[in-house]
Structure 1
Amino acid sequence: MILPPFLKPGDKVGVISTSNYTEQPYIDQLVQILKDWQLVPVLGRSIGARHGSFAGSDTLRKDDLQEMLDNDQLKAVLETMGGYGIVRVIEQVNFNKFKYGPKWLVGYSDTTFLHSHVQGMLGIASIHATMAADLEAGYQAQSWETLRKALFGESLTYQVKPHALNREGISEATMVGGTISVLCNAKGTMTEVNTNGKILFLEEVGEKHFRLDSYLMSLKQAGKFEYVKGLVVGDLVDIQEDEPPFGKTPEEIVWDAVKEYDFPVCFGFPAGHGQVNKALIFGAPVKLKVSPKGASLAFKL
């Protein structure tokens, strides 16, 4: 897996939304954060544009992403919002120039499509991390500081509290993953995630219990857990109860999908749609260790 060059002060970084529209105050806050990191933000044409719920038309968002990928002066491209929209344009984007001049792509949620695409098709790492839209809930120093560390290639190591559903073990591999529903929806496309020999990260937001279960069952039947080397479960946020009740917590639903395997499992990692969204480098080597005392995750950069 190829790691793009890490950033240094003075580097230019692109700011775009290939998904839903982001309110301007949060763009302004992001710009200031990047300037505080001594980076030079370059706003794309999708910033400020609006077409229904999207940050501009499909054509505008596709062209904006293409221009950012092809711009040799940019060392990273930050998505500002998740929601929905990347799947509508990604197959029209040409990644040839990006392949030979990779840069860091940053985001989560709908950006899962981009993560899976550049890792599966191109073998290039990317960063699962907080976005401008998260600033609506306030500035979370833990989230943004880990993104800064990831971008600048600083040490990235985490400790996670014990969880009753954890499964002990040690594993080293590259990490892939993202939002469960997006990974499921990408099955059968050129963006489908390759989990073989990988440590898989999963998180979800706003689904019914039965639908979370159906996504996981679909991924399981597609063989996505068969050759996994480890599982890190992030935030499972606002998972709505069914009527009548499904009978399992969201964490128990995930465990039920993977309990027959023997790879280590870590629940409760603070990443995804929760209050804190710590950065993960998809495509980078990482060591996962799960013990009765908790879990640790250490990226090898």
Structure 2
Amino acid sequence: MIQYPTLHKPATIGVTALSSGVPEALHPLLKGAEKQLQKNEYQLILGETAWTQHKAKSAPADVRAKEFHSIIQNEKVDLIIPPWGGELLVETLEHLDFDLIPPKWIIGYSDTSVLLLAITLTKGIATAHGTNLVDLRGESMDATTAMWEEVLLTKAGESVTQHSSPLYQKEWDFENPTPHIFDLTEKTDWKTVSGNPETLKGRLLGGCVDVIRHLVGTPFGDVAAFRKTFNQNEPILWFFENCELSTTNLKRSLVQMKLAGWFEHCSGILFGRSDANHEIDGYTVEDVYQDLAEELQVPIVYDVDCGHVPPQITFINGAYAVVEVQNGKGKVVQYFR
């Protein structure tokens, strides 16, 4: 059975950087997020790693792991939100004691998805793939991002519904910041490989392909053991997003996952929007999706609200989901069962 953390307000957020911290020049981003969250009944406990960054990491791996344990085991802390992602969270896994990680919500994306997926696979504790801390610093919040709170306040046995965004952000416009941080200008359009409406059902697992692929073959990426121990033989519904991979690199990563058995008992795959996916020798990302759909014989939906092209839906690793896609719009119902 999946364990679903419980969240009540007012609450305390622990901020620790198992991946990248925030360099001094950008400290106002952290302070801005703290200021806005305090207005919404949250207090923050910020670890030292949140404020430091050197050579692609906030601190040495063992130091990051020690602080993470200290903060998540703090009885005053109700949930964990890292400042943002980064590059080298994978270094910390061998320094973590997963038996000492209590069922508290952890939310984030990008490099943080390594930790999220590893916890859900090894311990059966639900984790949240969604916004990071610095993106919560706006005076207001778009409706899609704002759902992070309602999702995490959902109790075990309940369900929560989210819808595709009306608009997404094509690129950052730092010269003209909006009150809700993101510059949402482009019409959102969820697509299916089949070109037809699709309904996908299964237990959600996923994250950023660039980094979670490195869990393949490790004790932290045993999908077969997860299915046997926690999943009650229900199909897996994967969600992925691509930060920096070319189309061929993305396909190699997906083939590796397939050969490792990650796609056994798979009911479908959701792919987030990406400004990577650079085609190689005419091989486009649509070709990748088409090939994978044919190989796995499952429906594939792409350009969903997930990942580095905001805003994004809050997907819960471990939750059972029903995803409906029609006429470019999506509906995601997650059941905490």
Contact 1:177 1:193 in 2 (8 A): no
Shift of 1:137: 10
Sort the Cα spacing of 1:24 and 1:296 in 2 relative to 1 into closer, same or farther, 3 A.
same
Equivalent-residue separation in structure 1 for 2:249 and 2:320 (angstroms): 32
| Residue 26 in structure 1 maps to residue 61 in structure 2 | no
| Aligned-residue CA RMSD (Å) | 2.5
Contact 2:147 2:162 in 1 (8 A): no
In the alignment, which residue of structure 1 is the partner of 2:130?
129
Contact 2:56 2:86 in 1 (8 A): no
In the alignment, which residue of structure 2 is the partner of 1:229?
267
In the alignment, which residue of structure 1 is the partner of 2:218?
189
Equivalent-residue separation in structure 1 for 2:33 and 2:117 (angstroms): 25
Query: For structure 1, which segment, 262-271 or 38-47, has the greater mean C-alpha deviation from structure 2 after superposition?
Result: 262-271
Equivalent-residue separation in structure 2 for 1:73 and 1:55 (angstroms): 23
Q: Deviations over 1:45-69 (max 9, x none)?
A: 2111233221122232111111122
Q: Deviations over 1:239-277 (max 9, x none)?
A: 3344xx3x1322331331232333332222111010312
| Residue 55 in structure 1 maps to residue 58 in structure 2 | yes
Pick the aligned partner of 1:202 from 211, 235, 240. 240
Question: What SS is found at the alignment partner of 1:205?
Answer: coil
| Residue 163 in structure 1 maps to residue 165 in structure 2 | no
In the alignment, which residue of structure 2 is the partner of 1:265?
300
Contact 1:45 1:60 in 2 (8 A): no
Shift of 1:289: 2.7
Amino acid at match of 1:69: I
Q: Deviations over 1:157-213 (max 9, x none)?
A: 224745252465434322110111222211111221627521100110122222112
Equivalent-residue separation in structure 2 for 1:137 and 1:51 (angstroms): 27
Amino acid at match of 1:78: I
Query: For structure 1, which segment, 285-294 or 46-55, has the greater mean C-alpha deviation from structure 2 after superposition?
Result: 285-294
Shift of 1:139: 7.2
Equivalent-residue separation in structure 1 for 2:13 and 2:100 (angstroms): 17
Q: Give the 5 Å matches for 1:1-301.
A: 1-5=2-6, 7-22=7-22, 23-98=26-101, 101-134=102-135, 141-153=142-154, 155-159=160-164, 161-166=189-194, 168-192=197-221, 194=223, 197-242=235-280, 245=281, 247-291=282-326, 294-301=329-336
Equivalent-residue separation in structure 2 for 1:254 and 1:203 (angstroms): 13
Equivalent-residue separation in structure 1 for 2:76 and 2:137 (angstroms): 30
Gaps of 5+ in 1: none
Sort the Cα spacing of 1:165 and 1:14 in 2 relative to 1 into closer, same or farther, 3 A.
same
Contact 1:26 1:135 in 2 (8 A): no
Question: What SS is found at the alignment partner of 1:236?
Answer: coil
Query: For structure 1, which segment, 18-27 or 148-157, has the greater mean C-alpha deviation from structure 2 after superposition?
Result: 148-157
Question: What SS is found at the alignment partner of 2:49?
Answer: coil
